[in-house]
Amino acid sequence: DTEVTQTPKHLVMGMTNKKSLKCEQHMGHRAMYWYKQKAKKPPELMFVYSYEKLSINESVPSRFSPECPNSSLLNLHLHALQPEDSALYLCASSQGSRGREKLFFGSGTQLSVL
């Protein structure tokens, strides 16, 4: 199994809603990542988890709250989002986070905030 699975594929939410994005991998990878990507732009790193601990937070607003319940699962909790947060949210994983391993990406969640 060389897949990173993200659910849901599409999400529409209002600015007062609370929702969660889910990411799962069963490759035994110990590093997991959240990226945000606007249309026609490169992905921007949001968070990195290494061995289930948050190791990088790229100054992301607190309305985005990551969680890593176990080594296979990564969540992104969303609350009080703004319309400018509408984007494709990509999850990725790698064997480690020492800067030598290639990243495997999921197919993303397309988020629309109304």
User: d(Cα 9, Cα 109) in Å, to the nearest integer?
Assistant: 4
User: Cα angle vertex 70, ends 65, 75, to 5°?
Assistant: 30
Residues 4-63 that bind other proteins (CB under 8 A): 33, 37, 40-43, 45, 48, 56
Which of 24, 49, 93, 108 binds other proteins (CB under 8 A)? It is 108
Count Cβ atoms below 10 Å from residue 55 Cβ, excluding itself: 11
Q: Interacting stretch for other proteins, rule CB under 8 A, among 18-26, 64-72, 74-82, 105-113?
A: 105-113
- Containing H/E element for 32? strand 31-37
Burial of 106 (C-beta count, 10 Å sphere; 0-12/13-18/19+) = buried
Instruction: Establish if 88 lies at the interface with other proteins (CB under 8 A).
Output: yes
Please identify, using beta-carbon distances, which residue of 13 and 56 lies nearer to other proteins: 56
Please identify, using beta-carbon distances, which residue of 42 and 83 lies nearer to other proteins: 42
Residues that bind other proteins (CB under 8 A): 33, 37, 40-43, 45, 48, 56, 88, 90, 92, 97-100, 102-105, 107-108, 110
